[in-house]
Structure 1
Amino acid sequence: MSDRVNVEISGGVAEVRLSRPEKRNALDPAMFGAIIEAGTALRDDRSVRAVVLSAEGPDFCAGLDRSSFRDLARGDRPSATVDLPPSDGPAKATGQRAVHVWRELEVPVIAAVQGHALGGGLQLTLGADIRLVAPDARLAVLEILWGLVPDMTGTQVLPELVGRDVATELTLTGRVVSGTEAVTLGLATRTAEDPRAEALSLARQIATRNPEAVRWAVRLLGVAGRVDAAAGFAAEQDAMAELIGSPNQAEAVAARFEGREPAFGM
């Protein structure tokens, strides 16, 4: 793995840590490539049952590396220089893929946010299913201050979380919000004094559940509101048809009745 991102897997929990603290984990081409590489590898790893997306140092991610803005002003796009295999998903641009790759995982992704999550750093958290933030974290859709718009899936995902009106205000003003306000707005799930420790604890708890049920739940919740009711209801029934009576579901029932921890297969 690149020196920009560290990945550790233990007990079915993968922790992906942005590792450029001296630059506030700012996004440069190497960071984009490492994030996509990490997400792609975990997407194909069936031993992983939950993922924590965190960062080293006091900040989660300060956004695009400041040196890149001079390149953008000249008409260059540094992220386009990242050498990646072609994408067969909806996200084609490098920045979009760095966020959307986390939505392609069939296990929950929990973002642990401390310090600054600005611009692309904020958008990176939008790829997670759950966002735990420090109360004093600083989050902003900052692109407008650089004469740009969010282009890492932000314009499409943000309204889903906070509503179109709030998304519009945040996008057009670049206003910085605290972690506490982010929760109030729906931009974050809840606050935690130590987001990383809380995220790891939550991930370990999820990793003790039937992995097939977890994958189905993530899949079903991921399409909620994006398919019509008939398709969503049918998908629920597909899930139940596959889960009921399966070895892991039977183990969940037996463990509950016997008052012990379940021992699930992959």
Structure 2
Amino acid sequence: MTEPRVITEIDGQIAYVWLNRPDKLNGVDLELIEELIAAAEALKSNRDVRAVVLQGKGRSFCAGLDFGAAFKDKKKVARFFLAGPRLVNKFQKVTTIWRDLPLPVIAVVHGHCYGAGVQLAAGADFRFTTPDATWSILEAKWGLVPDMGGTVPFGDQMKADDVMRLSMTGEQITGTRAVEVGLATEAVDEPIKAALELIEKLVERSPDSVAATKKLLYANRRGSLRAALRLERKLQATMFKSVNTKIAREAATAKQPAAYKPRTFK
């Protein structure tokens, strides 16, 4: 029986999503793309999960696109590449879908983080890495451009000249350097520990507030001022009606931990 390319384990309020091709350094093929998208879509409808940890089995987070495996079926590649009436194609959706989830997503990076792996990590809301992990926007090596949705968060996370340099050269940088340029959130010896410490803080807040804040901040990065203020009003009005807002307010007043209901915001 073929091993799943992606494994999802839910432990309490945390979903652990693993890339599971350790023998290929979690290189991305078409099946892995389909399974990652399916995993994200399943989590979107799970209102009890409060955070997602995205990581790779074995020695690496993700060594990029596995060209040999992915391009065996050229017709399927073409279907994945064409967006048709949709805003994104499947190569892009596998990274952008994590930003669409109404809960925080944290990438935990070790070993190789190349090409598609960098774009997948960039699609998460936070990226904790080991200091010695190797990051590279590797598409330049193959005469390509980054085309899996990563250029949008790259522009949010890094200065224009750093994005240009790393994307044009494909040079390798350490996890420590990835933090310095803004590509990663923090470099620590135990990134999973740092991720869980952040999750502890996030689950102290209303799941509706966290989800709405994520939507608000991403939407307003490229919208007009008028649209940004309109969205603020709309989401705040929604929060006023949320049962979790009432719970948060009562807990804060009583100076007690809050016992939240499942997320209602989507």
Task: Give the TM-score of the pair, scaled to structure 1.
Answer: 0.89
Question: What's the secondary structure of 2:258's corresponding residue?
Answer: coil
**Whole-angstrom distance in 2 between the partners of 1:134 and 1:207:** 24
Where 2:155 maps in the other structure, the secondary structure is helix
Among residues 168, 175, 183, which one is paired with 2:171 in the alignment? 175
Q: Distance in 2 between matches of 1:258 and 1:194?
A: 35
Instruction: Please give the per-residue CA displacement for 1:20-70, whole angstroms capped at 9, x wherever unaligned.
Output: 11110111111111111111111222222211111111210000115258x
> Is the aligned partner of 1:23 residue 2:24?
yes
Relative to the length of structure 2, the TM-score reads 0.89
Aligned match of 1:90: 87
* In structure 1, C-alpha distance between the alignment counterparts of 2:159 and 2:74, rounded to whole Å: 33
- Number of the residue aligned with 2:207: 211
Q: What is the alpha-carbon root mean square deviation over aligned residues?
A: 2.6
Q: CA deviation at 1:80?
A: 4.1
Distance in structure 2 (CA, Å) of the matches to 1:230 and 1:95 = 32
SS at match of 1:148: coil
Work out the CA distance in 2 between the residues paired with 1:81 and 1:234: 37
Q: Could you give the per-residue CA deviations for residues 72-115 of structure 1, whole angstroms, max 9, x where no partner exists?
A: 9xx94764466xxx9875212x2111101111111111111111
Within-5 A mapping of 1:197-236: 197-236=193-232
Query: Deviation per CA, 1:110-130, whole angstroms, max 9, x where unpaired?
Result: 111111100111111121111
Report the 3-state secondary structure (helix = DSSP H, G, I; strand = E; otherwise coil) of the residue aligned with 2:48.
Answer: coil
Q: Does the aligned pair in 2 maintain the 1:62–1:119 contact within 8 Å?
A: yes
CA contact (8 A) 2:115 2:137 kept: yes
The question of whether the paired residues in 2 share the 8 Å contact of 1:24 and 1:57 is answered with yes
Does residue 57 (structure 1) correspond to residue 58 (structure 2)? The answer is: yes
Tell me whether 1:34 sits opposite 2:35 in the alignment: yes
Matches within 5 A, 1:66-145: 66-68=67-69, 71=71, 76=74, 79-80=77-78, 90-92=87-89, 94-145=90-141
- Give, in whole Å, the separation in 1 of the partners of 2:85 and 2:258: 37
Distance in 2 of aligned mates of 1:79 and 1:126: 23
Indicate the residue corresponding to 2:244 in structure 1.
248
In structure 2, C-alpha distance between the alignment counterparts of 1:195 and 1:142, rounded to whole Å: 23
Where does structure 1 lack aligned partners over 5 or more consecutive residues?
A: none
What percentage of residue pairs aligned between the two structures are identical? 37
Amino acid of the residue matched to residue 199 of structure 1? A
AA aligned to 1:25 is: N
1:156 CA displacement: 3.2
Deviations 1:210-237 (A, max 9, x none): 1110111011011122111111112222
Which range moves more in the overlay, 49-58 or 255-264?
255-264
Give me the whole-angstrom Cα distance separating, in 1, the residues matched to 2:174 and 2:44. 31
Tell me how far apart the structure 1 counterparts of residues 78 and 3 of structure 2 sit (CA, whole Å): 18
1:56 maps to a residue whose letter is K
Task: Compare 236-245 and 214-223 and name the one that shifted more.
Answer: 236-245
Say which SS state the counterpart of residue 53 (structure 2) adopts.
Answer: strand
Whole-angstrom CA distance in 2 between matches of 1:80 and 1:128: 26
Provide structure 2 residue ranges, at least 5 long, that are not aligned to the other structure: none
Q: Tell me, yes or no, if the aligned pair for 1:52 and 1:203 is still in contact at 8 Å.
A: no
Pairwise CA distance, 1:137: 1.0
Match of 2:47 in 1: 46
Comparing 244-253 with 3-12, which one deviates more in the overlay? 244-253
Report the count of equivalent residues.
261
